[in-house]
Each structure stands twice: as structure tokens, then as C-alpha cells.
């Protein structure tokens, strides 16, 4: 399936980390017929509002990048919001896409859908083979429902709805609020503030031992468009780099990039979360896609963006 430059594309969640990267990429590729609504203009949790919006706009393609997201702390403390908001957004957007004849829909999930103790690297087929990581099970259950909605609408109605699972993301547009952010922007902000205030130490949560994989959002946008062009199946597809590093190694990279010269201390009272999260990328590699942005370069580019935009940073999305 080839998207035409004139096709109307609705990117839900275009102000978030993922959505904004997809918009940058679509615009760079010459797609101009983009339909965008902020969450204030269109509350995706409201069924009637979503119905009216789809009936009026009739998009050809839908990229579902809207979600209630957050790091380990936010997920653990706002379970009802993480479950309800995400379920409602997915159900409304997917059902309206079906009702309005959307040609193809790409739903973006997360690798936290995989069981906490699944073998690594995480293969797509491990979905629903064991219990989830308790600190983010609310979000994970909602995202699994999103996958199942895509599969159900394909099976029952023949809709070409696909679902992709990106690994931990970072990049311009991330959430740098310490109460809600993921580890990468949190560390960037902590090292940055500590450098400015000439502090002796920076505290990193947990043991520093958990392993995580980090994908730049521009790579994700590239993969998303690749899948829209080349993938038409009901199985989920992982999007990752295929390599992980420890939180301690990440902290040291971010410290170098920011230029903080003090010590790192670990706060064992904060949770580690799942011990390792690395995706198996053989499926998407087999289709012909791979990540291109080197981690250190990506961190440096993101820090540059942070420096230029810190007065204008968003809170929890």
C-alpha cells in the first residue's frame, strides 16, 4: 500500500513525543493533508466527540499515537487514569476508523505489554504468556486491549489495522517533568540542574542495574511510516534497536553529554521495575528496516533540543 501525498492523515496525539516526531517526518516527506486536533479541541475519551470528528473529517489513514503516558512513578500512582483514558481513546479511535472506512490504521503500543519475566529478547509471540510488571500493568492492559481491537476489527470487518510496539523512546518533545518522566529525560534534567547548581551528586533511582533499550523517536517515525507502507498483517511488530544498556551506563552517557562532573548515587528505595526490556527486532529487520540513530548522538541531539526549549516544556500529557 502506498500513501499518496494528498491522502488525509489523522495523527492522534500530535503534540506528544511520538506524534510530534511522526508529524515532523510526514511534513519532511511532503505530506500536507494532515488532520490534527489538540486534546483540548478533541477529547478522545469522549465517544460522541470522536464520532463527530471522524464523520466530518473522514481521514484516509490514522496513526494512533495518543495515549496517557508516563514513567514508572506516574504509572504506579495513577492506575485508574492509565487504564481508563487509554482504553477509551483506543476504543473510540479504532471503532470510528472502522465506521468511516479508514484505509489503514497504525496503533502504537509499548513493550511493557510483554510479561515481566518473559525471555529476552522479547519476541512478538510472548504477548499474553505470563503476568505483567506490576508497576505498569494498567497501561499495559490498556495497550494489549488496543492490539486486540486492531486484530478483532481485522478479523470481523477486514480492516487493515496494524499495531507496532516501540521500545523505550526518547528525543525532542519528551516530558522532562521529574514526577512523570521516563528515565532518559529525567536523567537529563537532573544532571542539567545539578550542573547549573554545582551540586556534588545526582540521585538515580533504583540499583542502576536494570537493562533498557532506547530508540530515538525519529527512528520510530521512520519505522512507523515503513510499516504503513509495507506491513499488512495482524501480528504485532516490535520496533527497537536490538541492543540494551544498564541504567548505570545510560546515566554515565547522559552525565558526559550534559557535562556534569559530580558523583552518581543510587536510591534503592525507588523501584527498579522490570529487570530487562530488550525487544527482538528480527521481524522488522526481516521486512527491511533498522534503527539508524546512534545512542550517544541521539542523547546529544535531545539535550540540544532541551536547551533550546526548556522554557516551553510540557507537563504530563
Q: Give the nearer residue to ligand GDP in terms of CB position, either 91 or 281.
A: 281
> Does 210 interact with ligand GDP (rule: CB under 6 A)?
yes
Would you call 265 exposed, middle or buried from its count of C-beta atoms within 10 A (0-12, 13-18, 19+)?
exposed
Q: Give the nearer residue to ligand GDP in terms of CB position, either 249 or 272.
A: 272
Within 14-78, residue ranges assigned H as helices are: 17-28, 47-57, 72-77
3-state helix, strand, coil in the chain (%, to 5): 45, 15, 40
Q: Which residues contact 140 (CB under 8 A, 6 or more apart)?
A: 110, 112, 113, 132, 133
- Cα–chain center distance at 254: 20
Q: Give the nearer residue to ligand GDP in terms of CB position, either 186 or 257.
A: 186
Q: Are strands 245-246 and 211-212 parallel, antiparallel or unpaired?
A: antiparallel
Alpha-carbon span 6 to 4, nearest angstrom: 5
Sheet holding 104-108, edge to edge: 34-35, 9-12, 61-64, 104-108, 161-166, 237-239
**Catalytic member of 10, 114, 139, 153:** 139
Alpha-carbon span 105 to 110, nearest angstrom: 16
The DSSP output letter for 125 is: G
> Does 127 interact with ligand GDP (rule: CB under 6 A)?
no
Q: Which of 60, 212, 255, 283 touches ligand GDP (CB under 6 A)? A: 212
Q: Is 139 a catalytic residue?
A: yes
Whole-number minimum distance, CB 112 to ligand GDP, in Å?
Answer: 6
Which one of 31-39, 180-188, 191-199, 237-245 is the stretch in contact with ligand GDP (CB under 6 A)? 180-188
> Does 247 interact with ligand GDP (rule: CB under 6 A)?
yes
Which one of 9-17, 20-28, 231-239, 268-276 is the stretch in contact with ligand GDP (CB under 6 A)? 268-276
> Does 107 interact with ligand GDP (rule: CB under 6 A)?
no
Q: Which of 183, 188, 264, 299 touches ligand GDP (CB under 6 A)? A: 183
> Does 272 interact with ligand GDP (rule: CB under 6 A)?
yes
Under the rule (CB under 6 A), what is the footprint of ligand GDP? 71-72, 112, 136, 168, 181-183, 186-187, 204-206, 210, 212, 247, 270-274
Active centre residues (catalytic) = 139
Amino acid at each position: 500500500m502506498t500513501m499518496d501525498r494528498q491522502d488525509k492523515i489523522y495523527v492522534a496525539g500530535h503534540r506528544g513525543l511520538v506524534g510530534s516526531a511522526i508529524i515532523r517526518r510526514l511534513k519532511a516527506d511532503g505530506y500536507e493533508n494532515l488532520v490534527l486536533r489538540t486534546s483540548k479541541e478533541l477529547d478522545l475519551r469522549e465517544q460522541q466527540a470522536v464520532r463527530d470528528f471522524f464523520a466530518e473529517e473522514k481521514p484516509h489513514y490514522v496513526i494512533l499515537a495518543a495515549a496517557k503516558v508516563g514513567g514508572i512513578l506516574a504509572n504506579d500512582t495513577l492506575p485508574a487514569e492509565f487504564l481508563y483514558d487509554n482504553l477509551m481513546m483506543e476504543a473510540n479511535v479504532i471503532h470510528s476508523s472502522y465506521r468511516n472506512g479508514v484505509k489503514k490504521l497504525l496503533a502504537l503500543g509499548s513493550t511493557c505489554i510483554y510479561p515481566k519475566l518473559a525471555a529476552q529478547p522479547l519476541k512478538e509471540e510472548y504477548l499474553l504468556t505470563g503476568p505483567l510488571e506490576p508497576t505498569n500493568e494498567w497501561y499495559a492492559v490498556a495497550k494489549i486491549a488496543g492490539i486486540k481491537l486492531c486484530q478483532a476489527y481485522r478479523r470481523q470487518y477486514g480492516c487493515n489495522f496494524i499495531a507496532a510496539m516501540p521500545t523505550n523512546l526518547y528525543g525532542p518533545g519528551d516530558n522532562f517533568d521529574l514526577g512523570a518522566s521516563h528515565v532518559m529525560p529525567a536523567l537529563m534534567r537532573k544532571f542539567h540542574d545539578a550542573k547549573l547548581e554545582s551540586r556534588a551528586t545526582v540521585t538515580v533511582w533504583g540499583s542502576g542495574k536494570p537493562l533498557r533499550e532506547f530508540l530515538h523517536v525519529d527512528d520510530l517515525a521512520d519505522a512507523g511510516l515503513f510499516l504503513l507502507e509495507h506491513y499488512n498483517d495482524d501480528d504485532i511488530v516490535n520496533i527497537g534497536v536490538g541492543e540494551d544498556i544498564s541504567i548505570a551506563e545510560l546515566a554515565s552517557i547522559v552525565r558526559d553529554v550534559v557535562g556534569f562532573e559530580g558523583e552518581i548515587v543510587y536510591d534503592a528505595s525507588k523501584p527498579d521495575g522490570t529487570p530487562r526490556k530488550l525487544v527482538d527486532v528480527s521481524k522488522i529487520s526481516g521486512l527491511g528496516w533498522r534503527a539508524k540513530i546512534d545512542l550517544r548522538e541521539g542523547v546529544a541531539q535531545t539535550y540540544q533540543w532541551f536547551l533550546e526549549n526548556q522554557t516551553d516544556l510540557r507537563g504530563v500529557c
